[in-house]
Structure 1
Amino acid sequence: MTGKAAVDIVDLFGGPGGWDVAAQQLGLAVTGIENDHSACETRRAAGLGTVEGDVRAYSPADFPTATDLIGSPPCQPYSIGGKGAGRRALDTVLHFASLLAARTDIRSGLATLDDERTGLVLEPLRWVLEALDTGRPFRTVMLEQVPTVLPVWEAMAHILRCEGYTVVTGRLHAEAYGVPQTRSRAVLVARWRDAAALPTPTHRRYSRSTAQEGGDFALRPWRSMAQALGWGMTHRPALTVAVGTAAGGPDPSCVGGSGSRATLYGERDAGRWIADTRLVPADAMPAYRGGRKDMIRVSVADAAALQTFPPDHPFQGTRTKQYEQIGNAMPPVLAEAVIRRALASELAARTGAQAA
């Protein structure tokens, strides 16, 4: 336990530190387990506690001071942009969850799945149950994944309630918390014998039919890409878009789906688009045949800004690896909202103790 705060969080699948940046900004100590070397190099350069390795090789016993758990398993098997191994195996994964709840060893069964990453979604449950069985239950559990994993979180919620946790699950929309994108995430928050809750939105939801300044005036306007990056449409706020890749993870290097990209091109062709020096030069943009126009590309720094990473976050590895890390990360601003609400009582008690 560090002297930084009276909490020690283990972040499974830590990535470049989306959750961990948020935790540190709240003054919380966190250690992330991550298997990708480039992501580990990013974490180390950012000063984040890092264990490089496979989460399946570790257990709560390796982190005896841990009080809270975070988990963001790989999204590729479940993403609608991926090959669908996780979605096809969803019923099997739910069955394995029930076996795990009965303390059955499911490792041999998981090995039969088409994509070994599919079963990683159950690792947080293994950790929670092992901690319970050793008499050291995690105080708080916070999980996130793509929306198609929500049934898994709901199955876990049922299991954890039977074990004594209070659990909430839901789908959080990133732009409702100040993230300049319409990406949504399936989230689970569990509290050991205490109330669990998801964060209350701070910003309005994006809507094509409602102006940015319209909607619920009790909430702040959603943030556009233009506002986040300082470029975009000149006669009205730029739309907020989500992006994806065939591999399943979001690709922040290219903005726009087919409809939103057409809108961007229309604005550009009409002369209502602000050029930005951080954009990849036009002659470096990939050309697509068959009537499709060039994509509008953003830099690594811009991609990180769209994911709400601090401007000085030191992403490491090849350019492709940096984009991959950014695209697969939990946006720190959204992570902070989840952590702040889930650990509200602990944060309030710490603030009171510091004031005293």
Structure 2
Amino acid sequence: MNSPGTQVHRLDGVRILDLFAGPGGLDVAAHFLGFKSVGIEWDRNACETRYAAGLPTIHADVSAMRETRFDEIPKSVDVLAGGPPCQSFSVAGKGVGRKRLDRVEEFIHRLVGGESEAQIDEDLHSLGDPRTALVLEPLRWLLKAIETEGRGPYNVIVLEQVPAVLPLWELYAKLLRSGEGRLNGVKYEADCWELKTERFGVPQTRTRAVLVARRPGLGAVEPPKPTHLPFELHRRRRNASQAEMLPGASHPSGAESRWISMAEALEEASRPKDSPVKVARLRTDGETKFFVVSNYGSGGDSKNRGRRLSSEPAFTVTGKISRNKVYRSIAEYEAEKPDRFNIPESGVLQTFPYNFPWSGNDRAQQVGNAVPPRLGMHVLSMALRGKAPTEDELTAATTWPTVPGATTESLREIGCGDRSQCPPKSHKVTRARREPAP
């Protein structure tokens, strides 16, 4: 396994290029699987977390990097991965992308068909939300690699997004299988699926649209095999069908395990002596027992806040997780005396290691934007090795290695340099938001 603490900023031997890398969900997954990666990320705060974690990073805009700095990507990279920003497709946003999927599909066909990219860029502005166009970037990076002398196509492509993007991934897969137009005969075995995170041991309900493509000869593309049972979102159904699936319940040999609850995940993360996860405050009579009231409405009613018990998986962890209210009892709820999850606890619900070094500002947003590393391990392992991650790898993924300060400084120098190539105004100093107390 590559250690972020010892293999600092060397980009030789890097296999995975992570577009829109965020604080490092896919990079953390790659690390525990033994693969080296480099991420491109425009947000300075996310970059600070990556530097502190020892993750090689280029602080840049993905589009600008492709257009003017493509030759800086190591030639050893043969895996293209990434999760384009989801805000314009997410049900939590205004949904500009969701409403214009047909237009985005049109742009995909135009790109592969060889139309002028300058004209395509001009027309993309009509979509309203510029983030919608970013879902095209992985395709543009692939086309750039195919058309750049001395590069050649990536061997493996792994993409993830919110479920609304699945039709676009299906179109991607169809085109990648065809090799038509600017793909210049380059074909892939490709498929895509909706994956529920709780089915892979992530203690939250979150559905992602995932695409995996591999060059012929690397084996058939198969979805990662779920390891846990699905969680029923409707309380009546889950009370009836999952009443027997309590912590510690036994299962037939080879059967999927029950989903992981918030209480189980936080209890496990609180055990190391240096852990910032402090569940003692959430215990009643020696038992970690609480309920969470969501920041979001339920059933189409913005005032009807959903609830989850500590014995259940968390709601989808978003950038607003700090606004979710945590109560130990109905009395606390009626007295309006809520607790909050701190940032390390929020990270654990995303399956980041308990001691992951969250840094910079807007940490809740960083946590919410990330790919759950445990899901990433299952997806990357199947895509790159054709098998699930081992139990030893999954167990190791609960603790992050210590990263020397010198490593962080070296990575910052590599990623930002003199800041002249960083995104405009991205180094503007802002006041840090006050994080919830542990």
Indicate whether 1:20 and 2:63 are aligned.
Answer: no
Deviation digits for residues 281-319 of structure 1 (CA, Å, limit 9, x no counterpart): x8xxxx9xxx9967652101110110111122111122x
The answer to whether the 8 Å contact 1:204/1:215 transfers is no
Kindly report which structure 2 residues correspond to 1:1-356, keeping only aligned pairs within 5 A, or say none. 8-59=15-66, 61-63=71-73, 64-104=75-115, 105=117, 106-134=120-148, 136-163=152-179, 164-193=187-216, 194=218, 195-207=220-232, 208=238, 209-211=241-243, 212-213=245-246, 217=252, 218-230=255-267, 231=282, 232-233=288-289, 238-243=311-316, 249-255=318-324, 268-269=329-330, 296-318=339-361, 321-344=362-385
**Shift of the alpha carbon at 1:215?**
10
Instruction: Tell me: CA distance 1:62–1:204, structure 2 relative to 1, closer, same or farther (3 Å).
Output: same
The letter for the 1-side match of 2:82 is G
The letter for the 2-side match of 1:129 is L
In the alignment, the residues of structure 2 paired with residue 292 and residue 66 of structure 1 have an alpha-carbon distance, to the nearest angstrom, of 56
Instruction: Tell me: CA distance 1:5–1:341, structure 2 relative to 1, closer, same or farther (3 Å).
Output: farther
Deviation digits for residues 147-203 of structure 1 (CA, Å, limit 9, x no counterpart): 111111111111111121011100000000000001110000000113212210011
**Shift of the alpha carbon at 1:240?**
1.6
Secondary structure of 1:14's partner?
Answer: coil
In the alignment, the residues of structure 1 paired with residue 20 and residue 57 of structure 2 have an alpha-carbon distance, to the nearest angstrom, of 10
**Shift of the alpha carbon at 1:238?**
1.4
Percent identity (aligned): 42
In the alignment, the residues of structure 1 paired with residue 200 and residue 82 of structure 2 have an alpha-carbon distance, to the nearest angstrom, of 20
In the alignment, the residues of structure 1 paired with residue 53 and residue 112 of structure 2 have an alpha-carbon distance, to the nearest angstrom, of 37
Partner of 2:409: none
**Shift of the alpha carbon at 1:233?**
2.9
Secondary structure of 1:87's partner?
Answer: helix
In the alignment, the residues of structure 1 paired with residue 11 and residue 23 of structure 2 have an alpha-carbon distance, to the nearest angstrom, of 21
Instruction: Tell me: CA distance 1:253–1:344, structure 2 relative to 1, closer, same or farther (3 Å).
Output: same
In the alignment, the residues of structure 1 paired with residue 338 and residue 196 of structure 2 have an alpha-carbon distance, to the nearest angstrom, of 25
Q: Let me know the Cα RMSD of the aligned residues.
A: 2.9
**Shift of the alpha carbon at 1:252?**
2.6
Secondary structure of 1:317's partner?
Answer: coil
In the alignment, the residues of structure 2 paired with residue 190 and residue 109 of structure 1 have an alpha-carbon distance, to the nearest angstrom, of 28
Instruction: Tell me: CA distance 1:338–1:346, structure 2 relative to 1, closer, same or farther (3 Å).
Output: closer
The answer to whether the 8 Å contact 1:7/1:68 transfers is no
Q: TM-score, normalised by structure 1?
A: 0.81
Instruction: Tell me: CA distance 1:154–1:215, structure 2 relative to 1, closer, same or farther (3 Å).
Output: farther
Number of residue pairs matched? 315
The answer to whether the 8 Å contact 1:4/1:27 transfers is no
Instruction: Tell me: CA distance 1:345–1:178, structure 2 relative to 1, closer, same or farther (3 Å).
Output: closer
Q: Choose 108-117 or 206-215, whichever is displaced more.
A: 206-215
**Shift of the alpha carbon at 1:52?**
0.4
Secondary structure of 1:180's partner?
Answer: coil
Secondary structure of 2:210's partner?
Answer: strand
In the alignment, the residues of structure 2 paired with residue 86 and residue 239 of structure 1 have an alpha-carbon distance, to the nearest angstrom, of 32
Stretches of structure 1 that go unaligned for 5 or more consecutive residues are: 257-263, 271-281, 349-356
The letter for the 1-side match of 2:364 is Y
Q: TM-score, normalised by structure 2?
A: 0.66
Secondary structure of 1:253's partner?
Answer: helix
Q: Choose 334-343 or 194-203, whichever is displaced more.
A: 194-203
